Amino acid sequence: MNKRITLKIAKIEDETKDIKTFTFKHKLDAKPGQFIMITDFEGGEKPLSVSDCSEDEFSITVKKIGEFTSRLFQKREGDFMSIRGAFGSSFFISDGKVLLVGGGYGSIPLYLLAKCLSEAGADISVINGARTKDDLVFCDKFRELGIKIIITTDDGTFGEKGSSVDVAKRMLNNRENEEKFDFIYAAGPEMMMQALQGVIGDIQYEFIFERYMKCAIGICGNCTMDPLGIRLCVEGPVLPKKLVEQLTEFGKYHRDATGKRIRY
Ligand SMILES: Cc1cc2nc3c(=O)[nH]c(=O)nc-3n(C[C@H](O)[C@H](O)[C@H](O)COP(=O)(O)OP(=O)(O)OC[C@H]3O[C@@H](n4cnc5c(N)ncnc54)[C@H](O)[C@@H]3O)c2cc1C
Ligand code: FES
């Protein structure tokens, strides 16, 4: 919904030293994978995934990166923010055996997905990876859902040493323990998702893309992907296998605020 509303921050929680969750009391009706545009009217409006959503409240979970997110980190409970949304496509909710693969703060949209999959009765495994222990998000929240969770860190400071794709590859190649998945979901850096695509085989999947967004309503064209011209703010950010396979720019380049292509 493109109507702007101004909301009070009801709760702020620390997830890691540079990731916080902000909760607002508002019925948003967002589905897993959807995002909002948020501003404090002091410069910039930014896309952020809905990390949790219930009848009367929703949350966003934010990594401090640059100017806007640093300013957001200065906000206190009771301060006001203005939002539009929720926007975009959402994840398919399977009731089969599913694997969720997350990398770094890219894992953020996977929590609401895991919650909805759990309600649908899916058999869920999550690989939650990050560069180092301090960058891991939502490990406890995933555990609270009672689902299988495998934690990986690139430097081995927590869980298995290596990337989430290394673990996914091992699980998908292991025919003996009957880890046969019906559906795979991934969220994280594009290079991670591209590596994952290479080991998925013929299993159906959906990936969520975080590209530079400005209008979020399909007008400016900044978030289109070659050669299909898919607007990630409308037809995405969640894309199914049949579309991802046709994207020639996937893992090769993205666009900056001016629309200029930047090589990964
Ligand atoms: C659909 C979607 C969902 C997202 N969900 C989350 C989330 O749940 N949590 C989270 O922490 N981050 C999320 N992001 C990324 C988030 O929008 C950026 O981290 C944020 O905009 C950075 O702004 P900044 O001013 O702090 O940093 P800047 O210094 O302005 O930018 C740092 C980097 O952030 C990215 N970025 C900046 N502006 C935008 C923009 N308008 N659109 C997309 N990327 C941008 C670029 O890669 C840029 O290089 C999401 C992005 C998209 C497109
Ligand atoms: S952000 Fe403008 S078309 Fe998608």
Mean pLDDT per 10-residue interval, the chain, length 264 residues: 92 96 96 97 95 96 96 97 97 97 94 97 96 93 95 95 94 72 96 95 96 96 93 97 95 90 89
Half-sphere exposure at residue 54, Cβ-oriented, CA atoms within 13 angstroms: 6
Q: Please report the pLDDT score of residue 2 as a whole number.
A: 82
Q: Which numbered ligand comes closest to the C-alpha of 259? A: 2
Residue 179: predicted pLDDT: 65
CATH (residue range 5-86): 2.40.30.10
81: Cα separation from own chain's centroid: 21
| C-alpha 211 – ligand 1 centre gap (Å) | 8
Q: Which CATH class is domain 97-263?
A: alpha beta
Atom 20, ligand 1: which residue's CA is nearest? 46
Other beta carbons within 10 Å of 171: 17
Residue-level pLDDT at 178: 59
Per-residue pLDDT at 177 = 57
Domain ranges, ordered by start, for the chain: 5-86, 97-263
Residues with CB under 6 A from ligand 1: 35, 44, 46-49, 61-63, 65-69, 105, 108, 210-213, 237
